Structure 1
Amino acid sequence: MIEILTLGIFALALIICLSFDITVIAALLIGFLCFFSYGLYKGFSVKQLLLMAGKGQKTGFNIMVVLSLIGLLTASWRISGTIPYLVSFAVNFISPDYCLFFAFVLNAALSLLIGTAFGTSATMGVITMSICIAAGADPMLAGGAVLAGCYVGDRNSPVSSSASLVAVVTKTDLYQNVRLMLFSAAIPFVLSCLIYLGFGVSQTYQEIHMALGEQFAQEFVMSWWSAVPAIILLGLIFAKLDIKKSISISVLSALVLAFVLQERGIEEILNTLFSGYVSKNLSLSKMLNGGGFLSMVPVVIIICISCTYSGLFEGTALIDTLKNGVEKISKKSTPFTAILLTAITTALISCNQVLTVILTKQLCANIQPDKQKMAIDLENSSILIPALIPWSIAGAVPIATVGAPVSSVLGAFFIYLVPLYWLVREKAALAKERS
């Protein structure tokens, strides 16, 4: 009973903090105090509990390093003109009659390159949403297409913090996970494309014109050289170089371009790396501002606190009762069914991907002992489900960034199709084994 009460207090703290627009970090700190107090109630000493928390903290160190590098990557790609060049190049392919399809595909492509839903929504997302609205598309479908595209890369990209987090907590190889993720997402991706194409065929759109390249040209030298950092990153990823080294080399190449091609000063470059890019053009600020080390600090803090939970949960056996319930569901259906239901529950409570991944992994460890299968199951549930929760930062931030209605989550078909496809596939495989 005390276990349920402790988790209930934590859930209530999250709800109150979100209701009053208080940062989720405050709720996570309250959660830490709740779980720490539970340990004291169970007779553990302060020293023992701190050691438990520290054990969980070790899990998150590698992902914190990767996150910091990603912050530097997104900033360097902005000041070097890489992101402006990629965005302006991509929008040239948009046809107003099929703008929903292009919104999904282009956001998917950029998110695969930069590995972040937030960064994609703030650049390509803003552009494609504007194009869709100007073309007369349904705002709910347009927002859904953008949101779904953003999470193609947030889930699949080797430079995604989400993919790195799953690899760390499951102790699996990142590149092997990426290959399996691409395989499991292929059919849902194609189906999503067909759905958005179908909506395009069934509606009549207005003709539009976008002179985005001219706007970017006021602030950047728009040269194909700007794409070099992205090309380098892709090449190193395909060569299977360590992800931290790959990102670092791409950042260095972007800094060279910022200094030589864009003629930015050393002080401005260093400030950008630390605090993010700030556009001199107000009309472009919403698309370009951001990135930098400081942009990742809140996420690093969230991971830092969340990772202490895993150590406390394991050491104090706080969630063992819940584990038994998850195991019963798994036996009556399939392991992924139990993992998916657990991910939905933890996402509703935790309101962020990090804690959803950690809690789901810990609750479902016994029903899926295969590390590789657990990694893909987490990617197909815990990474995507939070994006469908309107009060979760994973869904609320991209939707608010592009100015889409909350109902856009209903139009993010890819995010639904991946777990549904994986669920059907597992049930079919199980039925084949039994026959």
Structure 2
Amino acid sequence: MDFTAHSRENRPLNSVADGYKKDNEPGPRGHAVNREFTLTQSSSQHTESASEPRAPSLLDALIPLGILIALLSLSVYFYGADSSYGPNQIALLLCAGVVALMGMKNGHSWNDMEGGMLHGIGLVFGAILILLAVGALIGSWILAGTVPSMIYFGVQILSPQWFYAASCIICAIVGLSIGSSWTTAGTLGVALIGIAGALGLDPAITAGAVISGAYFGDKMSPLSDTTNVAAAVTSNDLFLHIRHMLWTTLPAFFTALVIFAVIGLTADTGTASATDIEELLTALKGEFNISIVSLLPLVLLLFMAWRKIPAYPTLIIGALVGCAIALIFEPETARRLGGGEGALAAIKGAWYALFDGYKSTSTNESVAELLSKGGMSSMLNTVWLIISAMAFGGAMERAGFLQVIVDWTLSKVKTVGGLVTSTVLTCFGMNAAAGDQYMAIIIPGRMFREAYADKGLHGLNLSRTLEDSGTITSVLIPWNTCGAFMSGTLGIATFSYAPYALFNLICPLLAIAYGWFHFKQMPLSAAATAR
């Protein structure tokens, strides 16, 4: 199966004459998430101005960005970790309107600016389908006992002497299985912080280990929304993107593990009490039939990924197989979710898990919170945020503002190392200024696409660097939604755990080093073989 599409030429589209797709120009082949969408233009959508639009100035481009930064900062101030659940979307759409007005000042028509917004949104339609499929898969995998079995087997590797390293590994396993660093840290992380306190261990180091593992899992999981967004915004194959990230992610993770192991082996761990862990395991076994069989959907997903089956059908098939496993091995759980008796109630429960996720009845609050998630509906807020961000980005591109900023930024860049460093610093700056990791992925991803091609670099280098910096550094900034969430949830100040979030610190440094030494920078000529 191969959902192949030609990639449009990566340049700002400032007029209808630029077009949306350049024929006979091969692009990266891959999953449905990477398919470029050709929007049909009508005379009512793109009416040519009587005169050519004026070229925007750097001030024109910086004004809407300044307003956006101010509004997003105010949003984080008012709403904290909840700012991504509506307030940021309002700020983005308002700023899209500001961009449209400034574009019209320079000679663009409203229809032209609106077309730019629609084009930007159209680029992520594939990602939206992927995100909805991910929600369905998470719900069905929890119902099938797949996620609970992963957690059950992963938690059992915990021991006092290896507490920090084990905490990192366990959170990595859970994060990889559910694709969410927030959920991992907000449930299992809270329990691990409590156990650390009982053992007399440093809670800041524990928080750093939890965050390091959770972000490793989030970054490398095909279920993660940020991973899908980074691949989509750069028009790259999802699984090729994950594979290319291994070059920076695995060395950073193993280096962090070694340091955590050294700290743990040299620390006074005292007498270990596994009460909380035992309660967790008992609660999981009480609600699900924990077994190796429950891991079959994971094995199938990995096999389909290895066979390079496109992401969307892979995820949908994985979700349906999860439902089948649930109906066979977890029929009582499926019937309970369906609210009845018999086969039809079980089918209703599996259907419910696909669209609205699993609802745990465990008396263990940590388990109930950990497992009550998933479903397509759980992805709607992320979809809302992506649409709002891409409307803003599309308007900025159509008005020519992004190109002005890129030209000014890249005028200082002469080498591949400088380009990668600029990308990392831009992503970090967006995390600090905009306060949201999605903005730190989407906006730099749009800005630097052509620059990487001009340097003869494959887009996979850009998508990897976006994750090495945009995804990873968000948690190191107190006023970023990720930093605010982790600090509030784990009860540890951001600046206290930041020095121990080793994985998050090492990844961007490796990305910069790889750029300067030109190590594992895939050339553009490798596009035909990178499949």
Scaled by the length of structure 1, what TM-score is found? Answer: 0.91
* Residue in structure 1 matching 2:328, options 243, 247, 260: 260
> How far is 1:296 from its partner?
0.7
Tell me what 1:227 maps to.
Answer: 295
CA distance in 1: counterparts of 2:105 and 2:438, whole angstroms: 27
Aligned residue type for 1:424: A
| Structure 2: 5+ residue stretches without partners | 1-58, 336-346, 520-531
**Does the CA-based 8 Å contact 2:76-2:481 persist in structure 1?**
no
> Are residues 1:213 and 2:296 paired?
no
**Does the CA-based 8 Å contact 1:73-1:250 persist in structure 2?**
yes
CA distance in 2: counterparts of 1:135 and 1:37, whole angstroms: 59
Structure number with higher helix proportion = 1
CA distance in 1: counterparts of 2:447 and 2:303, whole angstroms: 37
**Does the CA-based 8 Å contact 1:145-1:411 persist in structure 2?**
yes
Aligned residue type for 1:337: T
CA distance in 2: counterparts of 1:415 and 1:240, whole angstroms: 29
The structure having more radius of gyration, on CA atoms, is 2
Farther-moved stretch of structure 1 (216-225 vs 337-346): 216-225
**Change in 2 beyond 3 A, CA 1:196/1:160:** same
Offset from partner CA, 1:47-66 (integer Å, 9 cap, x none): 11111111111111011111
CA distance in 1: counterparts of 2:260 and 2:489, whole angstroms: 21
Offset from partner CA, 1:153-182 (integer Å, 9 cap, x none): 322233333232222222223332222211
Farther-moved stretch of structure 1 (91-100 vs 173-182): 173-182
**Does the CA-based 8 Å contact 2:244-2:464 persist in structure 1?**
yes
> How far is 1:303 from its partner?
0.6
**Does the CA-based 8 Å contact 1:96-1:132 persist in structure 2?**
no
> How far is 1:100 from its partner?
0.8
* Residue in structure 2 matching 1:374, options 448, 462, 474: 462
**Change in 2 beyond 3 A, CA 1:153/1:323:** same
Farther-moved stretch of structure 1 (325-334 vs 84-93): 325-334
Aligned residue type for 1:8: G
CA distance in 2: counterparts of 1:273 and 1:393, whole angstroms: 28
Offset from partner CA, 1:314-340 (integer Å, 9 cap, x none): 210123442233213423861111111
Tell me what 1:357 maps to.
Answer: 441
**Does the CA-based 8 Å contact 1:10-1:34 persist in structure 2?**
no
* Residue in structure 1 matching 2:69, options 8, 11, 15: 11
CA distance in 2: counterparts of 1:27 and 1:410, whole angstroms: 32
CA distance in 2: counterparts of 1:107 and 1:89, whole angstroms: 12
> How far is 1:18 from its partner?
1.4
Q: How many residues align?
A: 430
> Are residues 1:177 and 2:227 paired?
no
Aligned residue type for 2:128: M
CA distance in 2: counterparts of 1:83 and 1:122, whole angstroms: 16
Aligned runs of 1:31-430 on 2, under 5 Å? 31-206=95-270, 207-209=272-274, 210-211=277-278, 212-262=280-330, 263=332, 264-265=334-335, 266-283=347-364, 284-331=367-414, 334-369=418-453, 370=457, 371-406=459-494, 407-429=496-518
**Does the CA-based 8 Å contact 1:75-1:290 persist in structure 2?**
yes
CA distance in 2: counterparts of 1:74 and 1:155, whole angstroms: 16
CA distance in 2: counterparts of 1:352 and 1:65, whole angstroms: 22
Secondary structure of 2:452 counterpart:
coil
**Change in 2 beyond 3 A, CA 1:252/1:124:** farther
Tell me what 1:433 maps to.
Answer: none
**Change in 2 beyond 3 A, CA 1:322/1:115:** same
Secondary structure of 2:471 counterpart:
coil
> How far is 1:366 from its partner?
4.5
CA distance in 1: counterparts of 2:500 and 2:448, whole angstroms: 29
**Does the CA-based 8 Å contact 1:87-1:123 persist in structure 2?**
no
CA distance in 1: counterparts of 2:315 and 2:176, whole angstroms: 14
> How far is 1:388 from its partner?
2.2
Secondary structure of 2:469 counterpart:
coil
Secondary structure of 1:291 counterpart:
coil
CA distance in 1: counterparts of 2:269 and 2:515, whole angstroms: 40
> How far is 1:127 from its partner?
4.3
Aligned residue type for 1:20: F
Offset from partner CA, 1:101-125 (integer Å, 9 cap, x none): 0111222233233333234334543
Aligned residue type for 1:5: I
Secondary structure of 1:56 counterpart:
helix
CA distance in 1: counterparts of 2:178 and 2:285, whole angstroms: 22
| Structure 1: 5+ residue stretches without partners | 431-435
CA distance in 1: counterparts of 2:201 and 2:98, whole angstroms: 47
**Does the CA-based 8 Å contact 1:159-1:243 persist in structure 2?**
no
Aligned CA-pair RMSD? 2.2
Aligned residue type for 1:19: Y
CA distance in 1: counterparts of 2:309 and 2:516, whole angstroms: 36
CA distance in 2: counterparts of 1:326 and 1:277, whole angstroms: 46
**Change in 2 beyond 3 A, CA 1:282/1:328:** farther
Scaled by the length of structure 2, what TM-score is found? Answer: 0.76
> How far is 1:402 from its partner?
4.6
Farther-moved stretch of structure 1 (392-401 vs 102-111): 392-401
Aligned residue type for 1:15: S
CA distance in 1: counterparts of 2:490 and 2:108, whole angstroms: 48
Aligned residue type for 1:162: T
**Does the CA-based 8 Å contact 2:93-2:392 persist in structure 1?**
no
**Does the CA-based 8 Å contact 2:150-2:177 persist in structure 1?**
no
**Does the CA-based 8 Å contact 2:177-2:217 persist in structure 1?**
yes
Secondary structure of 1:360 counterpart:
helix
**Does the CA-based 8 Å contact 1:139-1:404 persist in structure 2?**
yes
